[in-house]
């Protein structure tokens, strides 16, 4: 049942996020109530993914090499940096259009590098596929992009610090849950 919930959660997550791109007229007709419903669906999808992932039976597909942990940790830090860049206009914010989706892609690839079980491949592979498809959908529906203009290297550094703090918090939560993210 865990795999069913996991896949259902990923599908619901993608659907809730893609309504605006795939059915813009319908989404606009829903107004603010539609935003609320889609937000609830997105939260429910995350709950389904977590419950499904935690209850999916362990099926080993491959054994990742230990050194991948170092690469994964760097990718996670980069992912949090890109998330911070979506609100803090560093010079990289003017070079990368989809900062949050780039952060999700870095996060997903990092987890795929260090988790060789089927549930992880479904979860993180599904989120990677969602992020890639989302970039394609956005670029097709909105070809023009207004690049941030008030950018600076100092803001890049601030975003990196914010990303590092978020990374530390998430690493602490992972450790608290019993998943130590740093190699010995």
Q: What is the pLDDT of residues 21-32, one digit of tens each?
A: 898 888 888 888
Tell me, what's the pLDDT at 109? Answer: 98
Tell me, what's the pLDDT at 181? Answer: 86
Tell me, what's the pLDDT at 184? Answer: 64
The residue ranges of every structural domain in the chain are: 1-57, 59-184
φ and ψ at residue 60, rounded to 5 degrees: -80, 130
Q: Is residue 120's pLDDT more than 80?
A: yes
Cβ-based neighbours of 169, under 8 Å, separated by 6 or more: none
Where residue 65 falls (left for φ over 0; alpha for ψ -120 to 50; beta otherwise) is: beta
Q: What is the mean pLDDT of the chain?
A: 94
d(CA 78, CA 172): 17
Q: Of 113, 105, 114, 68, whose CA–CA distance to 83 is shortest?
A: 105
Tell me, what's the pLDDT at 31? Answer: 86
């Amino acid at each position: 049942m865990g795999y069913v919930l996991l896949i259902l959660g990923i599908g619901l997550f993608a659907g809730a996020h893609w309504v605006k791109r795939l059915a813009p007229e319908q989404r606009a007709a829903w107004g603010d109530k539609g935003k609320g419903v889609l937000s609830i669906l997105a939260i429910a999808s995350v709950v389904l993914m977590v419950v499904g992932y935690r209850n999916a039976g362990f099926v080993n597909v491959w054994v990742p090499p230990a050194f991948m942990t170092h690469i994964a940790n760097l990718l996670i830090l980069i992912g949090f940096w890109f998330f911070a860049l979506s609100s803090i206009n560093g010079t990289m914010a003017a070079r990368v259009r989809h900062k949050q989706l780039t952060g999700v892609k870095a996060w997903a690839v990092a987890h795929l590098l260090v988790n060789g079980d089927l549930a992880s491949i479904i979860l993180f592979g599904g989120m990677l596929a969602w992020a890639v498809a989302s970039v394609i959908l956005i670029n097709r529906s909105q070809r023009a992009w207004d690049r941030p203009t008030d950018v600076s290297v100092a803001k890049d550094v601030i975003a990196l610090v914010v990303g590092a703090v978020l990374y530390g918090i998430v690493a602490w939560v992972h450790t608290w849950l019993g998943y130590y993210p740093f190699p010995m």
